[in-house]
Structure 1
């Protein structure tokens, strides 16, 4: 585990600003003329930086103590070096807005006000200057700033919770659609077979006393139908299992090559982190698209292309076959569309610009924008 110097979640927005602020503060404190001797200034700066570092990593009472320590150091600098140094109080006002306790936040805000009032009082003994007037709005801003940071953080937290809730609703919707699809598949596949078994059983019961050979034939048909039903159940259960997209792509490529085609896979951008349902749905749709290419396209070449758009992940299956022509959309394409619609995505089939057929599977990525939701 590496040494953590700066919080990762703040690095993007605050690291450069904090580094510049600290460098300027050190420069001002060391270059200004003051009754404070250099060793004292160095010790105070060290305490200031230590307080800042503690406040950077904590949100509990240690944050409050660190803020109070930093404010005390700034008060000394404001009195004995230069009142505008109080501008650097924004460093702690920002961190104070992330405190877990409202009490800690209130005490810190009161301390910021006390810092300014102390400096104003001490400086009034040596004469009123423009700096006092300039620092009054700064004092108000620093006292309000923690509240603004807290409100902003609260809103971001609520937004994240809303995204998580929306993602859960989407997953529930997907699962519900998949249940409907499974029910439909069971009805379409097993329904006919079981109906046949029922009819054959009734015929067997009628023939058993009159024509044993015919009854035996009917029973053999029932046995055959039962085996078909068992096979259909196994296929449906197999479809319900998790199918990794990367393995399915490789398997589809192998099948296309075995069918005598030149099959290539182009990954323009790696897919995002997908849920098990999303990967399975995409894999089944890709499998169906490849099956259609083998059965109907008469193609010699097929390309699978994976790309990332600004708001969607896309799989494009293009062949150089005979194209759509007047061929009606079959059950395979309808199945792909239903699966992608369950993911709030789309499945489209069209003629290619240079011939052949292009199938495009498009999965929207609204809930993949934040990494916490997967």
Structure 2
């Protein structure tokens, strides 16, 4: 449209028109490519000035070229620079409209007024759109980081579960293998039975790995207590447990976490305690459920309280706001405590 009005001119005015049009194209190109705030302001000011000159000097319809400048104002990141650019642009458009109206060349003022208002308000919409795009980009980046964190946490969880699950089972296989070696000469008939037990334990380990990978295995406290009794008896450690009726019906997540902790405790007793007996007791208090595992072994040195398995237990219990306490002297007492929901009795309802 501005080129159409310049073509109809002649002489010096036509030359000026072509130069202004060329400068407008250059400013349009530079505003897209420049990264300097100083040069951006320069090219934007030049473009607005060209719009004013085109509108006053050639044809009032050239004022619509201001929509290009409005677009670039909307892309200004700094709020301060945006406000100054918008005020300058609004002043230039209002000045142009008033000048054209005073000159009497703007035949239909009401026709141009709505477009001028939209032109001045356009940078707000463009800025809002850019902010939304920026937020979406940040959200996508945050989601990518969350995915990385989830993957990292999942690796840690799998490593911890492998340690707790396979460590327990492999310890049992080791004990059974040692038993086979001791009775091979004196009781050869029993070797076959023990070998069958080792096979069953190995199959159980394979099944545990499959369930662990598929993330379908739900561990219960009762099951882990039964497994703990098996591994302790295989190590010639007597297992003593309080009445199971004291066990609460905990949610699956708490059952799983407490069960994995019991597995780790049983494995540590077999490996390190040199105990003869193991005692498991339960305690129900208002809002808490505790399981204590006590052995009569050699105890635990204080500087070994935060070993690989115990730190994993603390991490698990932290997920359900549980806690782990260790007391060591003549033997070791490990207590796992988890919160429970207390259901109030509704009286008179």
User: TM-score under structure 1 normalisation?
Assistant: 0.45
Task: Give TM-score, length-normalised by structure 2.
Answer: 0.48
